[in-house]
A and B are shown apart, each in its own frame.
Chain A
Amino acid sequence: MNSAMDFLLWTKGPMFDIAMVIFAVGLLARLVEIFMLGRATNYAEPRATEWLPGFRTVLTRSVPDPGTFQRAPFNVLVGWIWHIGFLVALLLFVPHVELVKGVLGISWPALPNPVVDVFTAVTLFSLVATLVHRLTHPVKRHISTVEDYLVWTVVFLVVLTGYLAYHRLVNPYPLALGMHILCAEIFLIILPFTKLTHIFTTFIARWYNGAAFGRKGVQS
């Protein structure tokens, strides 16, 4: 019967719980799967410790070396722009801050809505650009899998439905908001089983990279 509001309440209620449980189970499983494998004892005499260079790489790897920037400026710039836009929209939009506060009880300041709106619009454009790049760049086209396009679609839909809901471009609004929440839930559900895990594992990967190089005296 009352489809749109029921749909919204379903996405805010049972579906959110399902998505969160799958996300938490999947992510923790993945993290444990990684850490439990461990590393073999390294008997080679180290030049330096691993911890600091590891953490340094966790930070510095966000910025490419100048040569890489020259060779892949589009990748770097658009990648930066949409990641920042996505993070701003995700973490600094008032309703999202309230959501985290509601679920976890922690909160932080948010940005004014029009600012988040601009970031979101830019993110949408950048995401389209990344898809065009993936479809046209020989390397990216060659290495892309179904998963890459699936993940792109989900990420794009999350941002797009959020934008549509904020601007109330779909009626009734509960339908628009429900679509956005559902897309976000699909995002959460596929996160632990796709390349979206990089959101968490990239920091582990960077640390291992920095540690391995750091041990040999190179800041990677």
Chain B
Amino acid sequence: MSELTLERGLAAFRAEIDAPIAAFFSSCVHCGICAQSCPFYLETGDPKYTPVLKLEPLRRVWEAEFTLWGRIKRILGLEQKVTDAMLAEWEELLYDSCSMCGRCSMVCPVGNDLAYMIRKTREGMVQSGHAPEGLINASIRAITTGSPMGLQWKTLAVQIKHVESSSGLVVPVDKVGAEYLVLLSSMEVINFPEYLEAITRIFDHAGVTWTLSTQCFEATNAGIQIGNKDIAAQLVERVVAAAEALQVPKVISPECGHAFTAIRWEGPNLIGRRYPFRVFHIVEVLEELRASGRLKTEGKETDRLSMHDPCNLARKSGVIQPQRNLMDLVAENFVDLDEHGKYQWCCGAGGGVSSNERAEPLKMAAFKRKKAQIEKVEPERMVTMCATCRTQLEEGLETFNMDIPVVGLTEMIADHLVEKTPAKDDTRA
């Protein structure tokens, strides 16, 4: 039976190296500015968490095999080898202390896209058997059960029933030819069931045709977090198969950061072809409905609200203004955190950190950066649009005894919809 080995890991590093990576490693001058953008370094003060240092295994393979000088060094026996022991040591640096938030990629003076390289380095870590247990388990569950949390359709079916009875609307399932296929994240289904009801009501209100798929409801992708293309591609293929089966032209990624990155940006490359459909984050869809006047709202939230931009949505996907337009629609006392949008700070839980139980202390340490930002603005509630961020914010704020509830943007929009007078006439069968 085959097994994960150092050789496979090294081959994976090798296979991941491309022109940008060669340019990045050629350019690093060890200025250390990346550390000043990393919540894991800033909140622990431990220089081993300097982002560029986390890439040392990949850098060594690049130097030895992709540069003239490296080849000469190798012949002279001066090569710095990547060993199993080294990778074991680097596992914590690459997984526990990195949420792939990409903030370092935004500030590196020489332009290194460090998050891009972390993602690729993880490929070698998985192939060499150095991925954290929590992410391995999530990956195995995602492949075997369809959900990283082991959630089954039957659980979701119960949710659907609840939503239908409380909203008096029908949640469309396996409806061929709908405009949108709606995907969910397991964490949302379990922790934030209000999301499903919110979109049910919003889409009914706006007259959007949509559907869930029994074939695939899960949008998250443990393969992206652990950093393995094979697992990631299998999970993406499930989404593509479901969308193709239902012949939808558009797929909606839920309030989840990495799921959007996975389906929107990495997915087509994982399966090696273009999609026959387009992918949107729910916030983008809501913004489009708002812009075209299909969202009729009434009343506004009056308390002081601030917002956390999920890294994957804002910095890494360019969705920054839509959520602010939507906030303006329903909130009159909205104030941004100091550094937001593409310069926002990670909550600390992304990139698989939240699925990696042993990283809990680091995850909470990194949250302190967000906490400081929130303390400065002193909002009464926080709004966000990613279930992982939301869970982390809730846990973190509770840990530090800060009484600031966290709400999802979609629910907040749903709360302000103008009630239709003939409530049920519009519902489609």
A40 and B109 contact, Cβ closer than 8 Å, known pairs A208-B20, A218-B318: no
Contact-size category for B: 35 or more
Please, how many angstroms separate the alpha-carbon atoms of A116 and B274 in the complex? 56
- A 182-220 to B, binary, CB cutoff 8 A, 1 in contact else 0: 000000000011010110011111111110110011111
Which are the 8 A-B pairs with shortest beta-carbon distances?
Answer: A217-B318, A206-B111, A43-B268, A142-B47, A208-B20, A201-B26, A139-B32, A205-B111
B269 interface residue (CB < 8 Å to A): yes
Secondary structure of the A side of the interface? helix
Are B26 and A205 in touch, CB under 8 angstroms?
A: yes
In the complex, A61 has a CB within 8 A of chain B: yes
Contact yes or no, B66 A65, CB < 8 A? no
Q: What 0/1 pattern do residues 30 to 67 of B give for CB contact below 8 A with A?
A: 11110111000110010110101100000000000011
Flag if B23 contacts A201 (CB, 8 Å).
Answer: yes
Question: Are the CB atoms of B22 and A43 closer together than 8 Å?
Answer: no
Instruction: Name the one of B20, B42, B68 contacting A33, with C-beta atoms under 8 angstroms.
Output: B68
Complex contact B273–A142 (CB within 8 A): no
Tell yes or no: B342 within 8 A of A by CB.
yes
Q: Does B11 contact A (CB under 8 A)?
A: no
When the two chains form their complex, are residues A43 and B274 in contact, meaning their CB atoms are under 8 A apart? yes
In the complex, A112 has a CB within 8 A of chain B: no
A139 to B41, CA, bound (A): 9
**Told that A209-B108, A209-B111 touch, could you supply 6 new A-B pairs with CB distance under 8 A?**
A64-B33, A71-B37, A71-B42, A143-B47, A193-B68, A213-B106
- A79 adjacent to B69 (CB under 8 Å): no
Closest A residue to B266 using CB positions: A44
CB distance from B318 to the nearest CB of A (A): 3
Q: Assess whether A141 is interfacial by the CB under 8 Å rule.
A: yes
A169: CB under 8 A from chain B? no
- Least Cβ–Cβ distance between A126 and chain B, in angstroms: 14
CA distance A216 to B284 in the complex (A): 14
Whether A35 sits at the interface, judged by CB under 8 Å, is: yes
Q: Which residues of B contact A (CB under 8 A)?
A: 17-24, 26-33, 35-37, 41-42, 45, 47-48, 50, 52-53, 66-69, 105-113, 116, 264-269, 272-275, 278-279, 314-320, 338-339, 342-343
For A210, the chain B residues whose CB sits under 8 A away are 111
Are A207 and B111 in contact, CB atoms less than 8 angstroms apart?
A: yes
Expressed in whole angstroms, the Cα–Cα distance for A38 and B23 within the complex equals 11
Across the interface, which residues of B come within 8 angstroms of A201, CB to CB?
A: 23, 26-27, 110
On whether the beta carbons of A39 and B19 are closer than 8 Å, the reply is yes
User: Is A145 in the interface zone, CB < 8 Å from B?
Assistant: yes
Tell me if A174 counts as interface (CB < 8 A to partner B). no
List, in ascending order, chain A residues with CB within 8 A of B29's CB: 195, 198
B109→A67 contact, CB < 8 A: no
Contact A142 B53, beta carbon cutoff 8 Å: yes
Q: How far is the CA of A220 from the CA of B41 in the complex (A)?
A: 22
Distance in Å from the Cβ of A198 to the closest Cβ of chain B?
Answer: 4
- Cβ A37 vs Cβ B17 within 8 A: yes
A33 — which chain B residues lie within 8 A by C-beta?
A: 22, 66-68
Determine whether the beta carbon of B26 is less than 8 Å from that of A30.
yes
Bitwise, A44-88 to B at CB < 8 A (1) or not (0) is 110100000000011001101101100110011001000000000
16 interchain pairs, CB-CB under 8 A = A44-B267, A44-B269, A61-B111, A68-B37, A75-B31, A79-B109, A140-B31, A141-B47, A201-B23, A202-B110, A205-B111, A213-B106, A216-B316, A217-B319, A218-B315, A218-B316
**8 Å CB contact of B30 from A45, A76, A143, A218:** A143
Query: Do A37 and B19 touch across chains, with their CB atoms under 8 A apart?
Result: yes
Cβ of A2 < 8 Å from any Cβ of B?
no
Q: In the complex where A29-B68, A44-B265, A210-B111 touch, is A68 in contact with B318 (Cβ < 8 A)?
A: no
> By the criterion CB–CB under 8 Å, are A198 and B27 in contact?
yes
Residues A197 and B27 in contact, CB atoms below 8 Å apart: yes
Chain A 1-40 per-residue mask, 1 if CB under 8 angstroms from chain B, else 0: 0000000000000000000000000100110011111111
Which residue among B26, B30, B32, B268 has the maximum number of chain A CB atoms within 10 Å of its CB? B26
Nearest B residue to A220 via CB reads B106
Q: Looking at the assembled complex, report how far the CB atom of A48 sits from the nearest CB atom of chain B, in whole angstroms.
A: 8
- Distance in angstroms between the alpha carbons of A198 and B27 in the assembled complex: 4
Contact B67 A209 (CB under 8 A): no
Across-interface contacts of B67 in A (CB, < 8 A): 30, 33
For A220, list chain B residues within 8 Å (CB).
Answer: 105-106, 342
Interface residues in A147-161 by Cβ distance below 8 A to B read: 148
Which residues of B sit under 8 angstroms from A42, Cβ to Cβ?
268-269
Complex: how many Å from CA A216 to CA B105? 14
Chain A positions within 8 Å of B109 at CB level: 61-62, 64, 79, 202
Q: Which of A33, A192, A208 has the most CB of B within 10 A?
A: A208
